[in-house]
């Protein structure tokens, strides 16, 4: 099976939880947004390592994502945390727009002395843009943000 590199890519700044996959990696979070599924961290932590790796390695073509949604609904259907909830599918989100750097990403970059031009933003893949948009949110701890800028914009 050919897997798109962004569908199963781990960032180096995620290395503190990748070995045991105790947290949901960004490549999976992107897929969840694309299929409109809210998977609780408790759901994720209940999955065994084989199931987690299967989800990480799941391709992200349109058909594959439909199958992933079905799989996640089935695998959580009897969960003590309830079935994974359906949410709005991500369409026209800032990370999906190659032609405009989101304001919060610009502010976070400039605070670090980094300039992200539209051209640079356009050259990032969707997962890279997704990572920045998630990591710069005010509700996020920002622990990995400096490392993300270093890794993605190197």
pLDDT digits (tens, 9 = 90+) for 49-73: 999 999 999 999 999 999 999 999 9
Extended beta strands in the chain, E state:
37-38, 85-86
Relative to beta strand 85-86, strand 37-38 is: antiparallel
Q: For the segment 134-151, what is each residue's pLDDT rounded down to a tens digit?
A: 999 887 666 788 999 999
Q: What is the pLDDT of residue 140?
A: 66
Which pTM does this prediction carry?
0.91
d(CA 107, CA 103): 6
Question: What is d(CA 105, CA 89) in angstroms, rounded to the nearest whole number?
Answer: 22
């Amino acid at each position: 099976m050919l897997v798109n590199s962004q569908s199963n890519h781990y960032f180096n700044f995620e290395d503190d939880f990748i070995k045991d996959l105790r947290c949901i990696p960004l490549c999976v979070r992107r897929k969840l947004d694309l299929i409109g599924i809210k998977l609780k961290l408790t759901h994720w932590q209940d999955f065994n390592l084989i199931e987690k790796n299967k989800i990480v390695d799941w391709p992200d073509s349109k058909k594959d994502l439909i199958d992933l949604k079905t799989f996640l609904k089935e695998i959580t259907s009897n969960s003590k945390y309830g079935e994974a909830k359906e949410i709005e599918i991500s369409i026209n989100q800032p990370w999906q727009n190659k032609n405009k750097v989101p304001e919060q990403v610009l502010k976070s970059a400039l605070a670090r002395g980094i300039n992200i031009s539209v051209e640079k933003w356009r050259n990032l893949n969707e997962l890279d843009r997704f990572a920045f948009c998630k990591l710069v949110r005010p509700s996020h701890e920002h622990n990995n943000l400096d490392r993300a800028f270093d890794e993605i914009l190197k």
